[in-house]
Amino acid sequence: MMRQKLLIPLMGDDIAPRFDLATEAVIISFDPEWNEEEEKILVFSQASAEDLCHLILTEGIKVVICSAIEEEYYHYLTWKKIKIFDSVIGIWKKATESFKEGTLTAGTILGN
Amino acid sequence: MKHLSIPLIKNLTEFTISLESMIDNIPMGISVVDRQRKIILINRSFEALTGFSKKEVIGISCGHILRSKQCIKNCPILTMDENSELACNESDIINKDRQLIPVRLNVASLKNVNGEIEGYIETIEDLRAIRELDTQIRHAFTFAHLIGHSPQMERIFKIIPVFAQSDSSVLITGETGTGKDMIAEAIHQASNRSKGTFVKINCGALPENLLESELFGHQKGSFTGAIENKPGRFRLAHNGTLYLTEIGDLPLTLQVKILTFLDDQVIHPIGSTKGFQANVRIIAGTHRNLEKMVKEGKFRADLLFRLNVVRIHLPPLRERENDTGLLLDHFLNLLNTKLNKKVRGLSVAALKTLHNYYYPGNVRELRNIIEYAMNVCQGNQVELEHLPTYLFGAKLIIEESVSNPESETTIYQTPPEVQETTRQSQTWSEMEKNMILDALSKARGKRSKAAEILGCGRSTLWRKIKKYKIM
């Protein structure tokens, strides 16, 4: 299995409520055994859904965990074969754990 | 589990009232939050608007559920104190179905008897209907999706509601791109049949035997390949309207069948011994000159007389005084939103060229020209060089062709000298597809680079690629 990359748009410790308004994101790299290899937090000069989509594609992200995402961007990313868990609410570290355990689904509310 | 207990209103009336059932009946999203902005209560309209259920949102910060721009950029609760008045803002939310909805948010503080803030109440009003109405008001010179303030068009706008009230057959004539299909649909929508279906069929699109089966239906086993019963368009349009577009292309044999239907309102599916009494209103449209076709023996005179009960002739754009300017503005506004552009207008030279052009493809061609120019234009003003090159090679308005009495017989036929340009304008989709392919090839498959070459956003390019099934 290949190395996997996960992106979560952030607002502080929480998953950002809106994909298009996020000014921070974390990219987590996993080895084939799903052990975390690297964690990188990025801060953007301005929020933009298009720029975030571009980043996702250029960084080779395979999974996105986010909260609200407009249909247009959702379809664009899924068309690009990126797995999206949307409407996930809560602390991003909890979401990552839930993803690694395989219990995460779209619409999961982990609490904040 | 303090928040899950049923909230009550005491001492307001003789009996204790359930707050939940009271706010559930209010047709506006309502949420009550505590001082930490965690949700205590929401009503049914809030659930419908956001897509989140009551059970899942209790105890969650309202910003994560409402997902409004206002919450993230400038939450009004953060600046509220005991003396603050109601905060009212227009914003947008993204619901669980991933729809962006324009809303009006009102926030007020909830105070205890000592005047201290104990929480907040938020109301969310869906503005989609109002925004749609605004757009309609802006289109003051419109009927359905048609726009125009020339006397010719105003006459048509006035007469459509009158024609809509009767059940008579309607014949709509006019050059290609003048809006015949839109008029047909507008008549249906304004009529008593609007609750029924509006079925459209292009008489020129199918071979004769297929068209017969498509129109009248067939019985299982009536011919090879008829593996099941097919209702046919007439039956599908029962209690509604059937729009026969390009009626001039209807084969003579089928003209007889339509004629029979117009006489007795009964259809006979192929291979069936029983007829079906269909309550259908017929609207026919064509860009051909049916009177001329009757003389040539290509169209039945009796069918023309039966269809010609109510006649609407749509004037070509070049004969609609001042409508070009109005339509230009309309398409600029429309396409600015659609293409995510900020084009403010056209240069004087570009405007002059467009005003002097003949428009053989009429309104559809004008729209295509504007769409082309806006795709090419990277600034905020459309210049002469952004217009399609074929405009400069085409003939300008020919006064004689309009005033020539001989042209009466060809009044809704495209003049032969400009037919080539019509063909070009009608294949705008092909042109656009080729432009995308060229750009992708120049960019060696890199879509961001291709989007840059085309002067559009990556998402726009992605949508077009998907539309034309390039990948």
pLDDT at A57: 94
Contacts of residue B71 in chain A, CB cutoff 8 Å? 17
B61–A21 C-beta distance less than 8 A = no
Q: Return the bridge partners of A39, or none.
A: A28
As a residue count, chain B comes to 471
Amino acid B100 reads L
pLDDT at A73: 93
Chain B nearest C-alpha distance from A20 (Å): 10
Q: Return the bridge partners of B106, or none.
A: B88, B123
Q: What is the mean pLDDT of residues B209-226?
A: 83
Pairwise pLDDT comparison (B154 vs B247), residue with the higher score: B247
Residue in B closest to A22 by C-alpha: B72
- Cα–Cα distance list, B177 to A14, B174, B196, B359 (Å): 53, 8, 27, 9
pLDDT at B247: 92
- Cα–Cα distance list, B125 to B48, B120, B401 (Å): 12, 17, 55
Q: What is the mean pLDDT of residues B187-191?
A: 86
Phi/psi for B140 (5° steps) reads -65, -30
Q: What is the mean pLDDT of residues B84-88?
A: 77
Contacts of residue B63 in chain A, CB cutoff 8 Å? 17
Flag the least confident range among A41-45, B12-16, B49-53. B12-16
Pairwise pLDDT comparison (B287 vs B137), residue with the higher score: B287
pLDDT at B454: 84
Q: Which of A50, A54, A112 sits opposite B61 (nearest CB)?
A: A112
- For residues A2-39, b (16+ Cβ closer than 10 Å) or e, as one string? eebbbbbbbbeebbbbbbbbbbbbbbbbbeeeeeeeee
B458–A69 C-beta distance less than 8 A = no
Amino acid B412 reads Y
Q: What is the mean pLDDT of residues B268-289?
A: 88
Q: DSSP character for B385?
A: G
B448–A68 C-beta distance less than 8 A = no
Distance (Å, whole) CA B121 – CA B37: 10
Q: Are B143 and B314 in contact (CB under 8 A)?
A: no
Q: What is the mean pLDDT of residues B372-400?
A: 76
CA angle, corner A37, sides to A36 and A38, nearest 5? 105
Q: Are B101 and B49 in contact (CB under 8 A)?
A: yes
Q: Which pLDDT band, with edges at 50, 70 and 90, does B133 fall under? A: low
Distance (Å, whole) CA B29 – CA B44: 7
Phi/psi for B365 (5° steps) reads -70, -40
Distance (Å, whole) CA B461 – CA B454: 9
Is the pLDDT assigned to residue B402 strictly greater than 70?
Answer: no
Is the pLDDT assigned to residue B137 strictly greater than 70?
Answer: no
Is the pLDDT assigned to residue B7 strictly greater than 90?
Answer: no
Phi/psi for B183 (5° steps) reads -65, -45
Chain A nearest C-alpha distance from B72 (Å): 8
Pairwise pLDDT comparison (B415 vs B173), residue with the higher score: B173
Q: What is the mean pLDDT of residues B60-85?
A: 86
Q: Which two tokens stand for residue B453?
A: 């070459």
Q: Which pLDDT band, with edges at 50, 70 and 90, does B340 fall under? A: confident
B98–A21 C-beta distance less than 8 A = no
Amino acid A75 reads H
Q: Which two tokens stand for residue B261?
A: 């239907």
Is the pLDDT assigned to residue B415 strictly greater than 50?
Answer: no
Q: Return the bridge partners of B90, or none.
A: B104
Q: Which pLDDT band, with edges at 50, 70 and 90, does B214 fall under? A: confident
pLDDT at B2: 43
CB-count exposure of residue B270 (10 Å: 0-12, 13-18, 19+): middle
CATH fold group of domain B139-314: Rossmann fold (3.40.50)
Distance (Å, whole) CA A87 – CA A68: 5
Q: Which two tokens stand for residue B301?
A: 């005179």
B466–A70 C-beta distance less than 8 A = no
B99–A71 C-beta distance less than 8 A = yes
Contacts of residue A73 in chain B, CB cutoff 8 Å? 459
pLDDT at A112: 62
Where exactly does CATH 3.30.450.20 map onto chain B? Answer: 2-126
Q: What is the mean pLDDT of residues B329-349?
A: 86
A17–B71 C-beta distance less than 8 A = yes
Q: What is the mean pLDDT of residues B4-10?
A: 67
Q: Give me the architecture of the B2-126 domain, per CATH.
A: 2-Layer Sandwich (3.30)
Kindly give the parts of chain A with pLDDT less than 70. 1, 111-112
Distance (Å, whole) CA B81 – CA B93: 25
B63–A76 C-beta distance less than 8 A = no
pLDDT at A90: 93
Is the pLDDT assigned to residue B76 strictly greater than 50?
Answer: yes
Q: DSSP character for B412?
A: T
Q: Sort residue B430 into left (φ over 0), alpha (ψ -120 to 50) or beta.
A: alpha
Where exactly does CATH 1.10.8.60 map onto chain B? Answer: 318-426
> In this structure, which CATH number among 3.30.420.130, 3.30.160.270, 3.90.660.10, 3.40.50.10860 belongs to the domain A4-111?
3.30.420.130
Average pLDDT value for chain B: 82
Q: Which pLDDT band, with edges at 50, 70 and 90, does B464 fall under? A: confident
Q: Which pLDDT band, with edges at 50, 70 and 90, does B395 fall under? A: very low
User: Under an 8 Å CB criterion, which residues of A touch B?
Assistant: 11, 14, 16-18, 21, 50, 53-54, 67-74, 76, 79, 86-87, 89, 107, 109, 111-112
pLDDT tens track for B199-212: 999 888 778 878 88
Chain B nearest C-alpha distance from A68 (Å): 6
Chain A nearest C-alpha distance from B115 (Å): 29
Is the pLDDT assigned to residue B75 strictly greater than 90?
Answer: no
**What residue ranges do the domains of chain A occupy?**
4-111
In sequence order, the 6+-apart residues with CB closer than 8 A to the CB of B422 are B176, B360, B361, B365, B414
Is the pLDDT assigned to residue B408 strictly greater than 50?
Answer: no
Distance (Å, whole) CA A97 – CA B48: 31
CA dihedral over B184, B190, B192, B193, signed as positive or negative: positive
Is the pLDDT assigned to residue B24 strictly greater than 90?
Answer: no
Q: Report domain B318-426's class.
A: mainly alpha
